[in-house]
Amino acid sequence: MVADGAMGTMLFDRGLGPGTCPESITLSHPETLQQIAQLYLEAGAEIVTTNTFGASPARLSTYGLADKTEVLNEVAVRVVREVVGDRGYVAGSCGPSGKLLEPYGDATPDELYQGFHRQMRSLVAAGVDCVFVETMTDLTEAKLAVQAAKDIAPQIPVAACMTFDPTPKGYYSVMGVSVAAAAAGLAAAGVDAIGSNCGNGSENMIEIAKEFKAATDLPLIIQPNAGMPQTEDGKVVYGETPDYMADVLGQIVTLQVAIIGGCCGTTPKHISAIRTMLDEA
């Protein structure tokens, strides 16, 4: 299946200002989210994600919006559902809380779990088809988010993706989690699909997919960036063209990855190229 591409990239291209909470767009400009969903749907995405990556109360608190947790999540689902209807699946996006767990920070597991529980309860109440736990680097935090989703609605599929960096010993998250450890820990937490998003371009994601394939029998989800970010004339750009990304990701077909999408820098053109590549494979 094909998932959609970047949300942040699309919002910045449509005027999201520096320092503005991306999730606030859900209430101020819901039509923008509907336009983005429509573009990804037309590009061939079968799974369209909600603008709720940072809509946990812990992360919203940095903008003074923790009290808007429920409405931001629920409205985000509704505006996408109005576009997608029954032509695809709506995935509730859940990213990191922005806090570090003890002993590295001052957040407790129960605090983060309760926050994710609030977010998941709202996503499920609004009618998501599945949940995407994304861009996690701390395995414990990822498991808390998965647990919250499963406690709320055990019947709803949950995919969990972690972000890894290349090292001489293989791929590890910044919190020191290997691909094999992530696979084992998230499988034990009860995820339905597992994989990686963000932090790497397409070529590295092929290697990460291979490591996951060796570590788990769960369905894999892979969502690379359109390359690594570079600054040109004061603007962040990503170098992988749609055709290049689709060509590299063609190798994923032989790995039998279940879901392919995009992360930072990817656009509907990237998703369209991936859709065409898969259809012709």
Tell me which of 253 and 267 has the higher pLDDT. 267
Question: Is 239 part of any domain?
Answer: yes
**Distance of alpha carbon 80 from alpha carbon 125, whole angstroms:** 14
What pLDDT does residue 13 have?
92
Question: Is 35 part of any domain?
Answer: yes
**Distance of alpha carbon 88 from alpha carbon 190, whole angstroms:** 24
Residue 216 has pLDDT above 90, yes or no: yes
Residue 234 has pLDDT above 90, yes or no: no
Residue 90 has pLDDT above 90, yes or no: yes
What pLDDT does residue 133 have?
98
Please give the average per-residue pLDDT across 84-98, as a whole number.
Answer: 97
CB-CB contact of 117 with 73 (8 Å): no
At 164-208, the pLDDT tens digits run: 999 999 999 999 999 999 999 999 999 999 999 999 999 999 999
| CA 92 and chain centroid, separation | 9
How many CB atoms are located within 10 Å of the residue 189 CB?
21
What is the domain extent for residue 208? 8-280
Number of domains in the chain: 1
By mean pLDDT, which of 3-12, 84-93, 176-185, 230-239 is the weakest? Answer: 230-239
Question: Is 2 part of any domain?
Answer: no
What pLDDT does residue 231 have?
87
**Distance of alpha carbon 66 from alpha carbon 276, whole angstroms:** 41
Residue 18 has pLDDT above 90, yes or no: no
Question: Is 97 part of any domain?
Answer: yes
How many CB atoms are located within 10 Å of the residue 18 CB?
5
Question: Is 211 part of any domain?
Answer: yes
Please give the average per-residue pLDDT across 6-15, as a whole number.
Answer: 94
CATH number at residue 36: 3.20.20.330
Q: Calculate the alpha carbon distances from 219 to 14, 120, 143 in Å.
A: 34, 22, 17
Question: Is 206 part of any domain?
Answer: yes
Question: Token pair of 160, please?
Answer: 């969990």
DSSP reduced 3-state for 161: strand
What pLDDT does residue 232 have?
86
- Model confidence at 254, pLDDT cuts 50, 70, 90, reads confident
Whole-model pTM over 0.75: yes
By mean pLDDT, which of 67-71, 134-138, 230-234 is the weakest? Answer: 230-234
Q: Within 13 Å of residue 267, how many CA atoms lie on the same side as its CB?
A: 14
234 Rama class: left (phi>0) / alpha (psi -120 to 50) / beta? left
Question: Is 107 part of any domain?
Answer: yes
Please give the average per-residue pLDDT across 24-46, as a whole number.
Answer: 98
Residue 253 has pLDDT above 90, yes or no: no
Residues for the chain: how many in total?
Answer: 281
Please give the average per-residue pLDDT across 69-79, as a whole number.
Answer: 98
Question: Is 1 part of any domain?
Answer: no
CB-CB contact of 125 with 74 (8 Å): yes
